[in-house]
Amino acid sequence: DGAAPLRVMISGAPASGKGTQCEMIVEQYNLAHIATGDLLRAEVAAGTDAGKLAQDYMQKGQLVPNDVVVTMVKKKLSEAPNGWLLDGYPRSLTQAEALEALNIHPQIFILLEVPDEILVQRVVGRRLDPVTGKIYHLMYSPPETPEIAARLTQREDDTEEKVKLRLKTHSANVQSVIDIYKPVMKVVDGNRPKDQVFADIKNMIMELQGEPEKVNGCL
């Protein structure tokens, strides 16, 4: 069989396409998708203590305190025996160190690169389908039907002003995370159609597995 559980991290600036690529990766490889942004938004929506604490930081485009995020991620990882795809974590040296301390290491750290001015356009046009969780863009990835179009929502932090704050937070922290994962880092040009980006990522994952396509044919 040879298909050991995959351990994949995906990183990149706000709206670089992490969530979009994760949708495609998960469909292909059936990994547990652990997205700290999604987990935090769920906590906020549910009005939990963690959510109440996180909300303010998210509004300001700042990192939520580590203890909140690290606890969430550790729990999710322990529930993912068939491999995982970490999306948007770690975002700081402390968060990376928390995984290192647990002896949890990725086989690959994918960094999506997209110029800042493109990121802003992506953020303001992004919409989410609350029913399927799918990510859309009014221009680049429009909804398939009028019914879906009518129910799309927009994230509160998806304004030009707020994405600039998120970008600042990202640039202040990304290098310390790269320093840790450099040996397994793959930089991917994220400023291309999403299928092209995914084709590259798929090749990289296939290389990791050291075998061709059919790996998940039996699932």
Residue 7, interface with ligand AP5 (CB under 6 A)?
A: no
Count residues binding ligand AP5 (CB under 6 A): 34
- Residue from 6, 8, 20, 201 in contact with ligand AP5 (CB under 6 A): 20
Structure-block tokens of residue 48: 């939990």
Distance CA(87)–CA(73), nearest Å, equals 10
Distance CA(5)–CA(31), nearest Å, equals 8
- Residue from 7, 9, 14, 99 in contact with ligand AP5 (CB under 6 A): 14
Residue 122, interface with ligand AP5 (CB under 6 A)?
A: yes
Among 12-20, 98-106, 145-153, 176-184, the segment contacting ligand AP5 (CB under 6 A): 12-20
Q: What's the closest the beta carbon of residue 44 comes to ligand AP5, in angstroms?
A: 9
Nearer to ligand AP5, 3 or 53 (CB): 53
Q: Look up tokens 């975002």; give the residue.
A: 91
Residue 106, interface with ligand AP5 (CB under 6 A)?
A: no
The footprint of ligand AP5 on residues 178-207 (CB under 6 A) is: 193-194, 197
For 2: left if phi > 0, alpha if psi spans -120 to 50, otherwise beta; the answer is left
Pairing of strands 185-189, 108-113: parallel
Question: How far is CA 160 from each of CA 112, 115, 120, 188, rounded to the nearest angstrom?
Answer: 20, 15, 6, 24
Distance CA(29)–CA(4), nearest Å, equals 12
Distance CA(77)–CA(34), nearest Å, equals 8
Binding site for ligand AP5 (CB under 6 A): 12, 14-20, 36-37, 40, 57-58, 61-64, 69, 88-89, 91, 95, 122, 125-126, 135-137, 140-141, 166, 193-194, 197
